Amino acid sequence: MTYLKTLALSLPAAMLATAALADGETIAVFTKNHTNPFFQTIRVGADAAAKALNAKTIHYIPTKPDSIPEQLSQIEDVVVKKPSAIVFVPVDYKAMVPGVEKINDANIPVVNTTDRSAGGKFLAFIGADDYSLGLETARYMLKAMGGKGNVVIIEGVKGSLTNVDRVRGFNEAIKEFKEVKLLASQPANYQRLQALQVMENLMQSHQKIDGVLAANDAMAIGAIEALDGANRKALIVGINGTKEAVDAIKTGKLLASGDYNGFLQGCIGTMVAIRALRKEAIVTEVVLKPTVIDKTNYQPYDTALETRSCPKWDEAAAMATKTN
């Protein structure tokens, strides 16, 4: 059951020892890479929330996509610089737990977004149900195929939480359609170029591919490029609702994209961090519902990120999904 949960903030005094209690706070925002447009939506959302609340952001982004050593090094840096709070997307939900524990030891409040960390202490989790996202997006494509045909899955990073859950959703949807055959399921690490290469190899092995389930939009675009290069066609879906995906939906290259609103995740995660510092009521968990974006409903997503606005706090709090 979905219900609203807000609570009076009662952070340990030590966690607030280094935090500002008025405006002007500095929020360090950690994301996974420069290559996936989804993380840019999180960063822009965080910037918008901070600006609206008279705070500021600094961004920590590994130069090598999803690099565990580099994000650990960035944590060492942020612990020394001691921002007011942190909004944190782990590059690996298990491997980054020691880094989160260092942040905890430094008494810097931290909000977990997108990938739920396997450990550490957080003010809140702001993210999505990746299983439902994969399930609903795959169902949409398989229905569009008429419930029959050959499909392939292009996975993200093997073992990553988002990939495990999205691919699990894909596979559950395929089981619902008895005349759909899964030909292959291969990783492309959420990278466009790798997906292009994977799709080229899959087309060499399989003469008839009717549908492609890609675990993010960047890989879906890579698959489109591979199909175009071979003058072949298939229905394709991605995940993330990026501007590039919306453009591809408009031209008919991409059937749909599942979305859980990275802009909103950045907004709410940063709002929670700042409100906690100001000893205002926060929410402890927001799990956003999936939306399948297609040619009938893409218009709200067809806008520049920089022109979007964060929700008011009451609207954000109404999305809360869990109590402690």
Residue 22's pLDDT band (cuts 50, 70, 90): low
Give the rounded distance of the alpha carbon of 265 from its chain centre. Answer: 8
Phi, psi of 127 (to 5 degrees): -165, -140
**Residue 13, exposed/middle/buried by CB under 10 A (0-12, 13-18, 19+)?**
exposed
Looking at residue 227, its pLDDT comes to 98
Q: Indicate if the pLDDT at residue 40 is higher than 80.
A: yes
Q: Is residue 209 a contact partner of residue 149, using CB atoms and an 8 Å limit?
A: no
Q: Measure the CA dihedral 79/82/86/88, to 10°.
A: -20
Higher pLDDT, 159 or 45: 45
Q: What's the CA gap between 108 and 272, in Å, rounded?
A: 14
Q: Give the rounded percent of residues in the chain with a pLDDT score beyond 90.
A: 81
Angle value at C-alpha 256, between 252 and 261, nearest 5 degrees: 130
What is the rounded end-to-end Cα distance, in angstroms, of the chain? Answer: 14
For 51, residues 6+ apart whose C-beta sits below 8 A from its C-beta are none
Count, residues in the chain: 324
Q: What's the CA gap between 188 and 140, in Å, rounded?
A: 22
CATH architecture of residue range(s) 130-259: 3-Layer(aba) Sandwich (3.40)
Residue 106's pLDDT band (cuts 50, 70, 90): very high
Q: Output b/e per residue, 75-97; b: 16+ Cβ within 10 A.
A: beebbeeebbbbbbbbbbbeebe
Q: What's the CA gap between 129 and 56, in Å, rounded?
A: 29
**Residue 24, exposed/middle/buried by CB under 10 A (0-12, 13-18, 19+)?**
exposed
Q: Which helix (H) or strand (E) holds 272?
A: helix 262-277
Q: pTM here?
A: 0.80
**Residue 5, exposed/middle/buried by CB under 10 A (0-12, 13-18, 19+)?**
middle
Q: Which helix (H) or strand (E) holds 69?
A: helix 68-81
Looking at residue 260, its pLDDT comes to 86
CATH, domain 26-128+261-290+303-319, list 3.40.1390.10, 3.40.50.800, 3.40.50.2300, 3.40.50.300:
3.40.50.2300
Q: What's the CA gap between 160 and 194, in Å, rounded?
A: 17
26-128+261-290+303-319 and 130-259 agree in CATH topology: yes
Phi, psi of 308 (to 5 degrees): -85, 155
Alpha carbon separation from 321 to 1, 125, 289 (Å, rounded): 8, 10, 10
Q: Which of 185, 175, 191 is nearest to 151 (CA)?
A: 185
pLDDT tens-digit readout, 263-318: 999 999 999 999 999 999 999 999 998 899 999 999 988 988 888 899 999 999 99
Domain ranges of the chain: 26-128+261-290+303-319, 130-259
Q: Is residue 284 a contact partner of residue 322, using CB atoms and an 8 Å limit?
A: yes
Lowest mean pLDDT among 29-33, 37-41, 69-73, 191-195: 37-41
Q: What is the DSSP string of 89-138?
A: --SSTTTTHHHHHHHHHTT--EEEEESPPSSS--S-EEEE-HHHHHHHHH
Residue 53's pLDDT band (cuts 50, 70, 90): very high
